[in-house]
Structures are given as C-alpha cells and as structure tokens.
Amino acid sequence: METDQYLLERLRNTLKQSGTVFTEKKMFGGNCFMVDDKMCFGTYKGGLMVRIHPDETDELIKVNGAGEMIHGGRPMKGYLFVQPEGYDNDDSLSFWINKCLEFNPIARSSKK
C-alpha cells in the first residue's frame, strides 16, 4: 500500500512545530519516525503505528480508530495501530504524536 504523502507532511510538520529533532527511515513498508535513535511512530498499511507506554494500552485502545498492532501475525506490545479516522484532524494527530513523544525518553532502544 502506497504511503499517504499528505499524512507524512502532517507528521513532519507536527514534529517540527514541537521542535522535536527526528529522522525518517523506510521500515515495515512505510515510513518510521525516529526520535533519539528510537522508533517513535510511523505509517503502516494505510494507518499510523504508534509506540506508547505498554501500561496505557488498555486505556488507549478505546480511543476512536485505535486497535492492536499486529505484525507478522503477532501483537506487538507497546504499539497500537490507528486507523485514519483516529487522526483525521490536527488535534487527534497531535494527541497520538504527543503520546509517542511522552513515552520516547523511557522507551528502550533496539539493538544496533
């Protein structure tokens, strides 16, 4: 599935407006946004993959458009998949990005 270029621009702009330093990588068939060399969030199969504190999963999965992140047939702990209706306006997109940025400082880095 082709990555939504409009969504990518919205993601980039939201990070720039917050003053967050980030890099982008192609990953999982989409674009992954890295903050402090850690996966923060990204595009995935027509939606948004968000990395959140695992303790918030039960609460956040109830938010409109959010669901379990499944990759390779298995749920990914600490990640949610958000359908487009869950980030269709700037406030909802900012909500998810802020959740990811809040968790990022304590998130574990993947092995290099």
pLDDT digits (tens, 9 = 90+) for 59-77: 999 999 999 998 888 999 9
Whether the predicted pLDDT of 112 surpasses 70: no
Tell me the residue type at 26: K
At 40, list the tokens.
């923060």
Question: Cβ distance 30 to 43 under 8 Å?
Answer: yes
DSSP 45-59: TTEEEEE--GGGHHH
CA distance 55 to 30: 26
Domains of the chain and CATH, by start: 5-106 (3.90.1150.30)
pLDDT digit string (tens) for 23-62?
Answer: 999 987 789 999 999 999 999 888 999 999 999 999 999 9
Q: How many residues does the chain have?
A: 112
Tell me the residue type at 88: D
The confidence score (pLDDT) of residue 2 equals 67
The confidence score (pLDDT) of residue 111 equals 61
Residue 110: phi and psi, rounded to 5, are -80, 155
pTM, entire model? 0.91
Residue 3: pLDDT band with limits 50, 70, 90: confident
Mean pLDDT score of the chain: 92
Closest CA to 57 of 84, 81, 30: 81
